[in-house]
């Protein structure tokens, strides 16, 4: 009589152990799924950042990208100014955005794109920043640039979604120079609030 009782107890124990293993394995599979989702999100974010950097680094913007943002037809004179303009700025200038590091320098890059959009890039040791702000709705303009004439002097005016405008004198089709006084005057409120402006009128040269 004792043998069937023993066998039944053994079967029950085996059943409990089997169920425990199934629950444990199911739990492990759920935990393994979480990193996959996180990795997928990180990968997608990295792809978007890379795409923005690739576009920001080009003077001729791909047509597939311009459909998503600002685009206009340039004048004949403006077409000659399209390109990447670069100047080296020391880290002690707050516009270099070196943080607590005051030694060294960064490359300040102004990209006047063929679709009329503009990108500002800051490239330093182990650091690349793309400074651009997209429109929040249809009533807010995208970052863009235009050529204007003020008192017979040609200027490049870069306008941003924040409402700020920056002025660069056109020295030639391959050289621009910042006009800090005019830029501060136009953005007087931001200047009074302590917004960082360049410490001097840096000259930018177009890259070949």
pLDDT tens-digit map of 143-187 = 899 999 999 999 999 999 888 999 999 999 999 999 999 999 999
Domain count, the chain: 2
For residue 100, the model assigns a pLDDT of: 79
**CA separation for the pair 32, 189 (Å, rounded):** 52
**Domain co-membership, 51 together with 114:** no
Looking at the fold, whether 49 and 105 belong to one and the same domain comes out as no
Q: Which residue has tokens 């959009």?
A: 117
Q: Indicate whether 145 and 45 sit together in one domain.
A: no
Residues 179, 105: one domain?
yes
Q: Per-residue pLDDT tens for 35-82? A: 444 444 444 444 444 454 455 445 454 444 444 556 789 999 999 999
| Pair 6, 39 in one domain | yes
- Indicate the SS3 state at residue 22: helix
Q: Please name every residue paired with 203 in a beta bridge, in sequence order, or none if there are none.
A: 177
**135 in Cβ contact with 142 (< 8 Å):** yes
Domain match, 47 and 74 both: no
The verdict on 94 and 177 lying in the same domain is: yes
Do 157 and 75 belong to one domain? yes
92 and 35 belong to one structural domain:
no
Q: What Å distances lie between residue 52 and 56, 68, 130, 145, CA to CA?
A: 6, 12, 8, 18
Residues 90 and 108 in one domain: yes
pLDDT tens digits along 72-102: 899 999 999 999 999 999 999 999 988 777 7
Residues 186 and 86 in one domain: yes
**Residue 206, strand partner residues:** 85
Question: Containing domain of residue 39, as a range?
Answer: 1-56
pTM of the model: 0.67
pLDDT at 31: 42
Same domain, residue pair 31 and 69: no
């Amino acid at each position: 009589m004792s043998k069937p009782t023993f066998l039944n107890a053994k079967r029950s124990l085996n059943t409990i152990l089997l169920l425990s293993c199934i629950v444990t394995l199911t739990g492990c599979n759920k935990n393994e799924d979480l990193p996959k989702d996180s990795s997928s999100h990180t990968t997608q974010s990295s792809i978007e950042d890379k795409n923005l950097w690739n576009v920001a680094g080009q003077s001729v913007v791909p047509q597939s990208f311009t459909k998503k943002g600002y685009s206009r037809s340039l004048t004949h004179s403006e077409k000659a100014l399209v390109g990447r303009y670069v100047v080296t700025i020391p880290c002690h200038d707050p516009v270099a955005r070196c943080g607590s590091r005051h030694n060294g320098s960064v490359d300040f890059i102004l990209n006047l794109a063929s679709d009329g959009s503009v990108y500002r890039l800051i490239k330093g040791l182990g650091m690349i920043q793309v400074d651009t702000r997209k429109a929040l709705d249809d009533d807010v303009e995208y970052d863009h640039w235009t050529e204007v004439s003020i008192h017979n002097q040609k200027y490049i005016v870069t306008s941003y979604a924040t409402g700020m405008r920056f002025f660069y004198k056109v020295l030639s089709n391959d050289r621009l120079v910042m006009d800090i006084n005019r830029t501060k005057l136009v953005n007087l409120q931001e200047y009074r609030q302590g917004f960082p402006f360049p410490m001097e009128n840096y000259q930018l040269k177009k890259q070949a």
